[in-house]
């Protein structure tokens, strides 16, 4: 059986970059109709082009803004009349441990990585129940292991793992599956966006060859492969899973830090 998303509608948040963009491209290649959302219209246009543009809806918005989240779901349903898969991918990373963090940082990270996912999930569930659809959340190895210097990020991803399990339990009777992927270090612009300088990113990615037992960082396509699998009928008996896509990172001791 090959994954086939003909006639299915997939919503990917943070689809303008990195893992989200690659996930959108993979779903498109398997016949899905797509709603892609993010804050950068130009990048979303480029991703839509890669997806063949047919059956692609672009919704520009910030997932942490309540009206935007409502509009993302509303425009998706207005355009396609249904929703089969929600991929909660949008996320941010920032440096900071308990000695140098702030409540403002905690609020920023939780607003995007957790509260927005909670909100979009609430809004999407009535539609997913109708289609017996499913949700894939983008968590992290930082949700299941402890890392220095990215405290709020770790907390946000742990909370997301628990959201995944609790909603999976609640929605199982409705035929709606909920899963998460937990990547290790993946080569995307997230580190630059977190404020790391180019050289620091280079060194961090190089150092990750040591911390990931498979001896390298991952690529966005390797995470997208797993997202597509979990969203497909091939994963029909999988719910509440938090799947490491991390070259074995979760097996090793976790002393690596994200440096500026
Ligand atoms: P990325 O920075 O390339 O992509 C993140 C996307 O989310 C971008 O399109 C960004 O614009 C969008 N986004 C951020 N805040 C948003 C907001 N408020 N509203 C709408 N869109 C918003 O990073 P990525 O590596 O592709 O990250 C995707 C997901 O994977 C994130 O949830 C991240 O935490 C998770 N992840 C990444 C890694 C990694 O090493 N790259 C590892 C584990 C988990």
The predicted-structure confidence for 21-78, as pLDDT tens digits, reads as follows 999 999 999 999 999 999 999 999 999 999 997 899 999 999 999 999 999 999 999 9
196 CA to middle of ligand 1, Å?
15
Of the pLDDT bands very low, low, confident and very high (cuts 50, 70, 90), residue 253 is low
pLDDT tens string 131-153 = 999 999 999 999 999 999 999 99
For residue 181, the CA-to-ligand 1 centroid distance in Å is 13
Q: Look at residue 259 in the predicted model and tell me its pLDDT.
A: 54
Pocket test for ligand 1, best of 91, 141, 211 (most atoms within 8 A of CB): 91
CA-CA distance, 151 to 221, in Å (whole number)? 27
Q: Per the structure block, which two tokens stand in for 243?
A: 């799947």
| Residues within a 6 A CB radius of ligand 1 | 14, 16-20, 38-39, 62-64, 89-92, 112, 138, 140, 183, 185-186, 188-190, 193
The rounded percent of the chain whose pLDDT value lies above 70 is: 96
Judge whether 195 lies within some domain. yes
User: Among the listed ranges 17-21, 40-44, 252-256, which one has the minimum average pLDDT value?
Assistant: 252-256
Expressed as residue numbers, the domain containing 223 is 9-242
Q: What is the pLDDT of residues 151-198, one digit of tens each?
A: 999 999 999 999 999 999 999 999 999 999 999 999 999 999 999 999
Give me the pLDDT at residue 54, please: 85
| Residue 122, domain member (yes or no) | yes
Which pLDDT score is estimated for 3? 78
Residue 192 lies in a domain: yes
In the chain, the number of structural domains is 1
Residue 75 in domain: yes
For residue 252, tell me if it sits in a domain: no
The whole-number pLDDT of residue 173 equals 98
Q: Whose CA is nearest to atom 2 of ligand 1?
A: 190
Taking residues 233-244, what's their average pLDDT?
Answer: 98
Helices 151-171 and 103-110: crossing angle in degrees, nearest 10, is 30
pTM above 0.95, yes or no: yes
Residue 53's pLDDT is 78
Which CATH number do you get for residue 161? Answer: 3.40.50.720
Q: Quick check: is 253 in a domain?
A: no
Q: What phi and psi values does residue 197 have, to the nearest 5 degrees?
A: -75, 155
pLDDT tens for each residue of 91-112: 999 999 999 999 999 999 999 9
Task: Work out the number of other CB atoms within 10 angstroms of the CB of residue 124.
Answer: 23
Helix, strand, or coil (residue 98): coil
Of ligand 1's listed atoms, the one at least distance from the Cα of 190 is: 2
Residue 258 lies in a domain: no
């Amino acid at each position: 059986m090959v994954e086939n998303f003909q006639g299915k509608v997939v919503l990917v948040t943070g689809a303008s970059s990195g893992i989200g963009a690659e996930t959108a491209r993979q779903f498109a290649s398997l016949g899905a109709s797509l709603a892609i959302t993010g804050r950068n219209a130009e990048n979303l246009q480029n991703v839509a082009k890669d997806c063949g543009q047919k059956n692609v809806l672009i919704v520009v918005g910030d997932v942490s803004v309540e009206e935007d989240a409502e509009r993302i779901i509303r425009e998706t349903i207005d355009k396609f009349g249904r929703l089969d898969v929600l991929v909660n991918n949008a996320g941010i990373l920032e440096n900071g441990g308990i000695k140098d963090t702030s409540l403002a940082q905690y609020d920023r990270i939780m607003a995007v990585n957790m509260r927005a996912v909670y909100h979009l999930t609430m809004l999407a569930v009535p539609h997913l129940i109708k289609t017996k659809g499913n949700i894939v959340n983008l968590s992290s190895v930082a949700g299941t292991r402890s890392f220095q210097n990215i405290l709020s990020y770790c907390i946000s991803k742990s909370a997301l793992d628990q959201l995944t399990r609790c909603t999976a339990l609640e929605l199982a009777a409705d035929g709606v599956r909920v899963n998460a992927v937990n990547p290790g270090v993946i080569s995307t612009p997230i580190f630059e966006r977190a404020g790391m300088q180019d050289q620091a990113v280079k060194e961090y990615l190089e150092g990750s060859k040591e911390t990931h037992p498979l001896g390298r960082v991952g690529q966005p396509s390797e995470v997208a492969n797993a997202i597509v699998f979990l969203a497909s009928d091939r994963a029909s008996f999988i719910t509440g899973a938090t799947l490491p896509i991390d070259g074995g990172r979760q097996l090793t001791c976790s002393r690596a830090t994200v440096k500026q």
